[in-house]
Amino acid sequence: MAMTPSLETAKKLKAIPDEEAWSLIRDYQKELQLLQQVYLAGGQRAIIALEGWDAAGKGGLIRRIAWAMDPRSLFVWPISAPNEVERRQHYLQRFWERLPLKGQFAIFDRTWYGRVLVERVEGFIEKPTWKRAYGEINDFEKALIDDGVHLIKIFLHVSRKEQHQRFCDRMEDPLKRWKLSTEDIRNRRQWDNYEVAIDEMFEKTSTAIAPWEVIYADDKRAARVAAMRYITRELSKGLDLTLPSLDPEVEKALRAED
């Protein structure tokens, strides 16, 4: 039985030189291109659910994935606070509406786990509500997997010191200041409470069919390599990665144009 992940046991990654990291990332990007074609041909579906501390590198990881893939079957959903309509609905409804169709990939930049993280820590919901959500989320994920969805859940973990440095870097960079808000700083003041909520989330929702992968992301390059290695490995499980043969009618039609 796999050990339940935790922030404390997340292993620091060995630093990777920039050139080596880019070489590895390009290799994984080629694998993603192959996987996208296999998923399209076989009608497979995949969800990559990303959680993590503010400034942990979710956006950078998403860009490395998206650069490699055809946007016609890749959808990235940045999740923020629910709007007025969504607040009147069941909290999972806005995620049901964004699930991938056959042949598609969906990346969620923050997820349904906001129910047991920000909504819990910030006191937006009562304790019985977020306690009940663990079972609801497990049932939701089981329903997806039973229906054939390949679900990957990654949490990017950074140290408190590293997060502070990244916030300072954002403040000094005019092109990145838009990423920093007073809400980020307010959330940081709740660091200890978030640690408790995150570890309980792992304990309650890292299941045999939908485990959490925690990646220590103080070193951005090493974290991106580790995440892309994990994603390509998990997306490949149980699949025949042989691309379909050329349709002879297509070849015949094209040859006739010579």
Domain assignment present for residue 223? The answer is yes
Average pLDDT over residues 152-167: 97
Q: Is residue 255 one of the residues assigned to a domain?
A: no
- Model confidence at 243, pLDDT cuts 50, 70, 90, reads confident
CA distance linking residue 220 with residue 63, whole number of Å? 13
In a domain, 126, yes or no: yes
Mean pLDDT of all residues in 158-175:
95
Q: Is residue 104 domain-resident?
A: yes
In a domain, 168, yes or no: yes
What burial letters (b/e) apply to 229-243, b meaning 16+ CB within 10 Å? bebbebbeeeeeeee
Output the CA angle 160-163-164, nearest 5 degrees.
90
Tell me the pLDDT tens digit for each residue of 179-215. Answer: 898 989 989 999 999 999 999 999 999 999 999 999 9
Report how far residue 91's alpha carbon sits from residue 163's, in angstroms, rounded to the nearest whole number.
Answer: 29
For residue range 40-87, list pLDDT tens digits in order.
999 999 999 999 999 999 999 999 999 999 999 999 999 999 999 999
Nearest CA-CA partner of 130 in 138, 121, 141, 140:
121
- Mean residue pLDDT of the chain comes to 95
**What secondary structure does DSSP assign to the chain, as a single string?**
-PPPP-TTTPPPPPP--HHHHHHHHHHHHHHHHHHHHHHHHHT-EEEEEEEESTTSSHHHHHHHHHTTS-GGGEEEEE--S--HHHHTS-TTHHHHTT---TT-EEEEES-GGGGGTHHHHTTSS-HHHHHHHHHHHHHHHHHHHHTTEEEEEEEEE--HHHHHHHHHHHHH-TTTGGG--HHHHHHHTTHHHHHHHHHHHHHHH--SSS-EEEEE-SSHHHHHHHHHHHHHHHHHTT---PPPPPPHHHHHHHHTT-
The answer to whether the CB of 229 falls within 8 A of the CB of 25 is: no
Query: What global pTM score does this model have?
Result: 0.94
CATH of the domain at 143: 3.40.50.300
**Length of the chain measured in residues:** 258
- With 60 as the cut, is the pLDDT of residue 253 above it? yes
Number of domains in the chain: 1
97-144 per-position pLDDT tens digit: 999 999 999 999 999 999 999 999 999 999 999 999 999 999 999 999
Domain coverage including residue 147: 18-240
Identify the residue whose tokens are 């509406």. Answer: 97
Q: What is the pLDDT of residues 22-40, one digit of tens each?
A: 999 999 999 999 999 999 9
Asked if residue 44 is part of any domain, the answer here is yes
Determine the pLDDT at residue 2.
61
Assess if residue 252 is contained within a domain.
no
What is residue 147's predicted lDDT score, i.e. its pLDDT? 97
Residue 91 placed within a domain: yes
